[in-house]
Structure 1
């Protein structure tokens, strides 16, 4: 059982408080399912980025399995890892799609729980999925410590091929925050460049802009894997639903973290 690592820190530990906070995140948003293949969601504390994330989850369709790509902030575990544990949150437990996970055997993606044990980037997405869809779905959590372009494309291609063969309805979620600890105006300028490449479904363009701007986007590998998988399954367009930063909550505009909600159809 993969126990919650950041409940009580990034989001409330008590189920009733968590549901209340999630309800506030969705306040004023219309729940309207769209034909979404992939998405980018932030993974900060809900007080900072929950409202941005809710823009994606309000539009996300019901799927058999949600493939979650997250960066590895901790450094533990394999360079690229999939978890097959049952995941627990304050709202209940979620099962991994073991059929898809077994299809990764012998690939670049290792079966490894250590990479996931303390990592928050995937965990913080799960209560949003439970709030929308209860427990009636499976997950495939993939943690990327290696985020280079070649690895991200290989991971995305591998997952897309597996999903295509399975015949399952799947949505891909890339967990990423954008610029870290820059003044708000500079963060927005940098993030706009990266987001433009994402909206163009341009993986090489993401890396070119990351390097040129020395951008501190933490989940560029997950974003690129998600885009690769989504395009292979027929995605042709992307849309920015919301952009914000931590300063809009904290009041400190001198060192913000950027958050974007992006969908790929």
Structure 2
């Protein structure tokens, strides 16, 4: 069995199990665990837990249990295939997580490749797994999709392929997009830009999302994963999104001169 070892344990989150569990308990403190069975997709941040863990937890507290979670993340490292899925078993300080290989086998391979290189050092998907493990223990599998190619046509095709594959199986699947929003702008500007972009996400309008990203020169890093998730969710019957929580790094460290924005969104 091939293993994908944690690349950012000790950096983005704690490397030791008990310390990580304590951190996750803090992230979920004050968050109402109210599962919504109608959720088909979600957007969660991928910064260090001290910065965005509370926003991520606000979404994970609402996710229903699922047989499989598809996690789409941007490829910050620019390594490997342009659209890459992993089949290795992933390991975090909380244990092993198996990939849903039957789902991967069923995915069309027109633009999606099986490639481990793209995932080797990438954090955007890895940081989601401890949240899922904390919430659902070992009662799930996942499908990690790392994206370097993020134009509108490609992301729509990825979303269509995911939706068509999900429809082949008689099981619960939730599609998660991993993304932070505005990077390194004053807090007020970040909030204005992100609100404008998030409105398009809530409307499940992929073209409007891209138009608004270009119009405001948004530096959200996971536009492609978000768009692919939106496309898949809409085809699977979703009709709207809801912003659960928004915050910036300035809320944590107090410096509002240059912040990163984090949004937690559910799609149903």
Aligned: 1:212 with 2:215: yes
Gaps of 5+ in 2: none
1:24 matched residue in structure 2: 26
CA distance in 2 between partners of 1:212 and 1:164 (Å): 35
The 10-residue stretch of structure 1 (100-109 or 31-40) with the greater mean CA deviation from structure 2: 100-109
Aligned: 1:65 with 2:38: no
Output one character per residue of 1:146-173: Cα deviation in whole Å (capped at 9) or x when no partner.
Answer: 0110111000100100010112210000
- C-alpha contact (below 8 Å) 2:70/2:143 kept by paired residues: yes
- C-alpha contact (below 8 Å) 2:108/2:161 kept by paired residues: no
1:10 matched residue in structure 2: 12
The one of 86, 89, 94 equivalent to 2:89 is 86
- C-alpha contact (below 8 Å) 2:44/2:263 kept by paired residues: yes
Structure 1 segment 160-199 matched on structure 2, within 5 A? 160-199=163-202
Question: Secondary structure of the residue that 1:165 maps to in structure 2?
Answer: coil
The one of 84, 99, 105 equivalent to 1:102 is 105
- C-alpha contact (below 8 Å) 2:73/2:222 kept by paired residues: yes
Aligned: 1:75 with 2:55: no
The one of 31, 35, 41 equivalent to 1:33 is 35
1:249 matched residue in structure 2: 252
Please report the RMSD computed on the Cα atoms of aligned residues, expressed in angstroms: 0.7
Shift of residue 103 of structure 1? 1.5
The one of 224, 230, 250 equivalent to 1:221 is 224
Shift of residue 136 of structure 1? 1.1
Shift of residue 30 of structure 1? 1.3
CA distance in 2 between partners of 1:223 and 1:118 (Å): 21
TM-score computed with the length of structure 1 as normaliser: 0.99
CA distance in 1 between partners of 2:234 and 2:91 (Å): 31
CA distance in 1 between partners of 2:153 and 2:138 (Å): 34
Question: Secondary structure of the residue that 2:134 maps to in structure 1?
Answer: helix
Shift of residue 32 of structure 1? 1.2
CA distance in 2 between partners of 1:204 and 1:190 (Å): 17
CA distance in 1 between partners of 2:103 and 2:249 (Å): 36
2:140 matched residue in structure 1: 137
CA distance in 2 between partners of 1:106 and 1:129 (Å): 27
Question: Secondary structure of the residue that 1:189 maps to in structure 2?
Answer: helix
TM-score computed with the length of structure 2 as normaliser: 0.98
Shift of residue 104 of structure 1? 2.4
Gaps of 5+ in 1: none
Shift of residue 105 of structure 1? 5.0
